Amino acid sequence: MGGVLARRNGGDASFYQNYDITWGYDHVKSLDGGRQIQLSLDNASGAGFGSKLSFGSGFINMRIKLPGKDSAGVVTAFYVNHREPNAPPCYSTSYWWNTRKYRTLDAAQQRAYENVRKKYLTYDYCSDRVRHPTPPPECPQ
């Protein structure tokens, strides 16, 4: 479970003044008169929210509570999504971080990358066709 506190310009505000729940409405609980929300995650779903305003940069603070005892295998994820209608998608080559200079790895970098994937990657939802027959839009096609 995660808790999100709604503050803007140093003052307290209702979460719903600044954010919209985008999915998983049944996994969202309003607390403290609407100043905070609690998102819950189970084996079937979670929840998401988005800002009503656009920001070039910002700060978010989130607390995540894991189940007691052995929490091995618990997956938590936090995604940042850009929702401007005219903006290119994050993987577009119009952004400097996706230009050929930053996408191309030499052989040593490619081996190091594959080594890290092999050693640390335990689950890749982009390749999980059982749960996601159609890959999510952020996954390489």
18 plus 62 within the same structural domain: yes
48 plus 65 within the same structural domain: yes
46 plus 10 within the same structural domain: yes
25 plus 66 within the same structural domain: yes
DSSP letters spanning 49-105: EEESS--SS-----EEPPPSS--TT-----------TTSPPTT-TTSGGGSHHHH--
97-122 pLDDT, tens digit each: 778 887 778 899 889 989 998 888 87
For 15-22, what is the mean pLDDT?
A: 88
94 plus 130 within the same structural domain: yes
- The candidate with the shortest Cα–Cα distance to 4, out of 47, 35, 44, 50, is 35
Q: Which two tokens stand for residue 139?
A: 């996954």
77 plus 36 within the same structural domain: yes
- The candidate with the shortest Cα–Cα distance to 1, out of 43, 45, 35, 38, is 38
104 plus 36 within the same structural domain: no
133 plus 80 within the same structural domain: no
Distance, CA of 77 to CA of 65 (rounded, Å): 13
* Whether residue 87 has pLDDT greater than 80: no
66-86 pLDDT, tens digit each: 777 776 666 666 666 655 677
78 plus 96 within the same structural domain: no
68 plus 112 within the same structural domain: no
Instruction: Find where tokens 């505000």 sit.
Output: 13
Question: Mean pLDDT for the chain?
Answer: 77
Strand-pairing partners, residue 64, are: 2
56-60, 75-79, 90-94, 119-123 — most confident range: 119-123
64 plus 5 within the same structural domain: yes
105 plus 53 within the same structural domain: no
Domain that includes residue 47, residue range: 1-86
**137 DSSP 8-state letter:** T
- The candidate with the shortest Cα–Cα distance to 63, out of 37, 45, 82, 44, is 37
Q: How many domains does the chain have?
A: 2
